[in-house]
Structure 1
Amino acid sequence: MFNRIVINDRNRGQFGALVQEQLRQRRALFHEELGWDIPRSEHIEQDQYDRAETVYVIVEKDGEVQAYARLMPTVATVRYGQAEFSYLTRDATLGLLPGIPPHILGGRAAPQSEDVWEVSRVEAADKAALVTLFETIAEFAEAVGVTELITFTRKNFDRIVRGLGYDASVLGEPVQYGGKPYCAIRMALGARATKAGREAEGFKLAS
């Protein structure tokens, strides 16, 4: 049976070991396997979007992390030196993230709203863990008044999301990132299919 854990700045100390394991898995996938040139240390992957406002959703079983995702309010900002960062998708459109083309939203303004959050760094070991992960994300989102998610991810993620029973739309044209097609996707959380997850496919997710 899966354990579903939502981690924020208030309970992060309690679940510090799970957070660190997630960061280790992220380094292994995004840097070592996919070859992304991203901020990292010898053992973990961590960047400017891992901060106080960040919410981690982790699915674990028998002490092993089976799925994870990172959530960020689109209204959150932080300043590092002379640069102000908000969330990954918006910062990319502002030219703050070298390597990601700024036109990923097709000329649209990046949302900054209490009811829109960003989801990133999504991965799952299998379909069951993925379904559980998104059920947990949707329940958390409903509890805090979030109705939509935005992400910059692999092009096939929109199909995966629709297979889970959620409405998803691609924003802008796909761009090349890390040698593969990526795009911005907006996901509505309001209408959840009763048979969510039965058509989900496409690993690894890598977003």
Structure 2
Amino acid sequence: METATLSFDNMHTYGPLFANMLKARHRTFIEGKQWDLPEEAGMEFDQYDTAQSRWVCVHENGRVMAGVRLTPTTAKCGIYSYMVRDAQRGLLDTIPGNLLWEPAPIADHIWDANRLFVVDDVPTEIRRRVQMSLMGHMVRSARAQGATILIGLLPTLIPRLARRLGIDMVPAGPEMSFAGVPHRVYFVSMASKMH
């Protein structure tokens, strides 16, 4: 099992891994969760998959097991910025605008983490290891970009996993359900020491 952080600068060195990750997102979010998201050729993508983002991917022999997208809160692409802020601004039909208690931040040291997933067919006996690898690499990758805080609309079970890595997560908005799965926006502090 390997973990990589993909960017537009380095994705060519990983062969089909980026496309495989978008296909895994399609299986997870469109086929599995029935979310109404943009798709083409069996891949899920949206307006935040730009050169400003990074994608953390857990994989084995080209098979994607898990992933997450990181986008700076300073990002701009047309009318869009980052997912949590754009939802709050009413630009996204599928996410309610009241997802945050405060205005969405814009700062160099804060990055958005979204589209976090572990594919359904990851065996139970290694699932926890895949989750831990994804979370740990997500934090290291965000830190490498200068982030000290992540903000993300994430499943409510994630903080329990994060605590095992020494990552502090604080709720930033009310709990809401997507396809029957409870989610909420969290601030993820990366100042604490990871185990």
**Do the structures match in fold with TM over 0.5?**
yes
Q: State how 1:13-28 maps to structure 2 within 5 Å.
A: 13-28=12-27
Match of 1:12 in 2: 11
Matches of 2:194 and 2:62, distance apart in 1:
30
Cα drift, residue 141 of structure 1: 2.3
AA aligned to 2:56 is V
* SS class of match (1:105): coil
Q: Structure 1, residues 73-93: CA drift from partner, whole Å, max 9, x if none?
A: 0001110xxxx1011000000
Tell me whether 112-121 or 56-65 shows the greater mean CA deviation.
56-65
The answer to whether 1:109 aligns with 2:109 is no
Matches of 1:45 and 1:90, distance apart in 2:
21
Match of 1:131 in 2: 132
Cα drift, residue 139 of structure 1: 1.8
Match of 2:67 in 1: 68
Cα drift, residue 164 of structure 1: 3.0
Matches of 1:111 and 1:16, distance apart in 2:
35
Tell me whether 60-69 or 35-44 shows the greater mean CA deviation.
60-69
Matches of 2:36 and 2:191, distance apart in 1:
35
Matches of 2:179 and 2:66, distance apart in 1:
22
* SS class of match (2:193): coil
Cα drift, residue 193 of structure 1: 4.0
Runs of 4+ in structure 1 deviating by more than 3 angstroms, as ranges, are none
Q: Structure 1, residues 104-151: CA drift from partner, whole Å, max 9, x if none?
A: 112x01011111101111123411112112222222222222111111
AA aligned to 2:82 is Y
Matches of 2:131 and 2:181, distance apart in 1:
22
Matches of 1:180 and 1:129, distance apart in 2:
20
Return 5+ residue gaps in structure 2 as ranges: none
TM-score, normalisation: structure 1: 0.85
8 Å CA contact 1:158, 1:170 repeated in 2: no
TM-score, normalisation: structure 2: 0.90
Matches of 2:116 and 2:31, distance apart in 1:
16
Match of 1:45 in 2: 44
Match of 1:203 in 2: none
The answer to whether 1:168 aligns with 2:169 is yes
Matches of 2:50 and 2:105, distance apart in 1:
20
8 Å CA contact 1:99, 1:177 repeated in 2: no
Provide closer, same or farther for how the CA distance between residues 137 and 181 of structure 1 changes in structure 2, counting only shifts above 3 A: closer
The answer to whether 1:90 aligns with 2:85 is yes
Counting aligned pairs with the same residue, the percent is 30
Match of 1:205 in 2: none
AA aligned to 2:51 is A
Return 5+ residue gaps in structure 1 as ranges: 195-207
Provide closer, same or farther for how the CA distance between residues 28 and 160 of structure 1 changes in structure 2, counting only shifts above 3 A: same
Matches of 1:133 and 1:99, distance apart in 2:
26
Matches of 1:155 and 1:164, distance apart in 2:
16
Provide closer, same or farther for how the CA distance between residues 193 and 54 of structure 1 changes in structure 2, counting only shifts above 3 A: closer
CA-atom RMSD in angstroms: 1.5
